[in-house]
Amino acid sequence: MTAFDRTKVKEVLLEPIVSTFNIRNKEPDIFKNTLDCFGAVLDAKVLSISLDDWVSKVEIPRTTQKSLQNNVGIIHQKVLGTLDGWRDMETGEVVDLVSMDRKVIAEIKNKHNTTKGNHKIVPYFDLHELITNEYEGFTGYYVEILPKSKKTYDKEFTPSNNKGPNPPANPLIRQIDGRSFYALVTGEEDALDQFYEMFPEIVDEVLKENFEDYKSVDLGVRQLEFFNEIFETD
């Protein structure tokens, strides 16, 4: 028994997987967002490499990795949106996920430090505004899929505020890790584990079906090792 409909999951992941393949396998325009020429020279010098090598070994991987991480955040949003009673709000909305039945709204971030600590006040006020007006009586969750130091948590969200007093604790505005949120949404404690297990198989299938030159590689034992290093296991 699984918490997810695999067919639905594969369907919603088609676009971000294909997009990621294209991003990682096509050379980006490194001047698109104004290349830091001074930083490039300094970095190449301290690494003792040419600027050509710096572009191929440092700048291109950095640029494409950032786009990859953005897609990973979208992936979690889309997967959770396949579940009954939950709606993926797509990009451009203040929140990412809504359940009218459960009276829950959520903003999903891929990692605990995706948003800097002193900037987390912004999503707090966004959630506060929504549960006060459009989603009155709902619980608003600030979701950090990858927690810090293996910690699981579901606690009141009280970020620091550099421009005024810190917000008061509110039981309806919460901060939660990914494993706990997947469990909350599905009712199954190991739901995130289930998704992680099926994820590489779905990626393989999508890429084989869309790119003739794609060759699958066995991820080896580190696939499970990586997961266990991020999340607490029994």
Range with the lowest mean pLDDT among 30-34, 112-116, 140-144, 219-223?
A: 112-116
How far apart are alpha carbons 129 and 117 in whole angstroms? Answer: 20
For residue range 152-173, what is the model confidence (pLDDT) as tens digits?
A: 999 999 998 888 888 889 999 9
* 210-227 exposure pattern, b = at least 16 Cβ within 10 A, e = fewer: eeeeeeeeeeeeeeeeee
Instruction: Identify the band that residue 30 occupies on the pLDDT scale cut at 50, 70 and 90.
Output: confident
Containing 166, the helix (H) or strand (E) segment is none
Average pLDDT over residues 18-34: 89
Mean pLDDT of the chain: 92
Domain spans in the chain, listed from the N-terminal domain onward: 6-81+190-229, 92-186
How far apart are alpha carbons 222 and 216 in whole angstroms? Answer: 16
Q: In degrees rounded to 5, what are phi and psi of residue 146?
A: -100, 110
pLDDT surpasses 70 at 1: no
pLDDT at 112: 81
Strands (E), the chain: 87-88, 97-99, 104-111, 139-146, 154-156, 173-177
pLDDT at 143: 96
For residue range 199-219, what is the model confidence (pLDDT) as tens digits?
A: 999 999 999 999 999 999 999
- Global model pTM greater than 0.75: yes
